[in-house]
Amino acid sequence: MSADPAPPDSFAPDLAVIEGIALAARDALAPPWAGPAREVLIRVEEMADDQMLADLEMDDPFELTGLYEGIPMTHKSVLDMPERPDTIWLFRRAILDEWVDRGNVTLTELVTHVLIHEFAHHFGWSDEDIARVDQWWD
């Protein structure tokens, strides 16, 4: 006789769960941000790779929950020839580590916060702009 499988909520959320939360948060952005946000690729990986960490002069991959790669909208020009699409990277294990350490926020709140912070780099938002979209610090 085999043991009953563990219930689905007894496992750590996988990449698809984090991506689903991020896509829902992106889709919930209000105009005028919603349309341009959909042009940014969202990638979810287990951890930042060694090259990303080296580029950022970071040693601990658990310190990096998200990363924006691209040219901020405030610096784009029609003359720019992008080599690749603007991308927001979310790092599952670092996010889960922070989520457990905090213990006082939902996973959805944390993923949304990280995503909004990375979109802030894309849109060139000020701290005040971020606060209007993400009430994380209230």
pTM of the full predicted structure?
0.83
pLDDT tens, position by position, 27-52: 998 888 888 899 999 999 999 999 99
Quote the radius of gyration of the chain (alpha carbons, Å).
17
User: CATH classification of 13-71+86-137, choosing from 3.40.50.2000, 3.40.50.970, 3.90.1300.10, 3.30.2010.20?
Assistant: 3.30.2010.20
User: What is the residue extent of each domain of the chain?
Assistant: 13-71+86-137
79-137 confidence digits (pLDDT tens): 666 677 899 999 999 999 999 999 899 999 999 999 998 998 888 877 777 777 666 64
Q: CA–CA separation, 104 vs 111, rounded Å?
A: 14
Distance CA 90, CA 112 (A): 11
Closest-CA residue to 22 (of 37, 7, 4, 8): 37
Structure tokens at 99: 């989520």
Burial group, residue 67, by CB count within 10 angstroms (0-12, 13-18, 19+): buried
What's the rounded Cα separation, in Å, for the pair 97 and 22?
Answer: 17
pLDDT of residue 78: 64
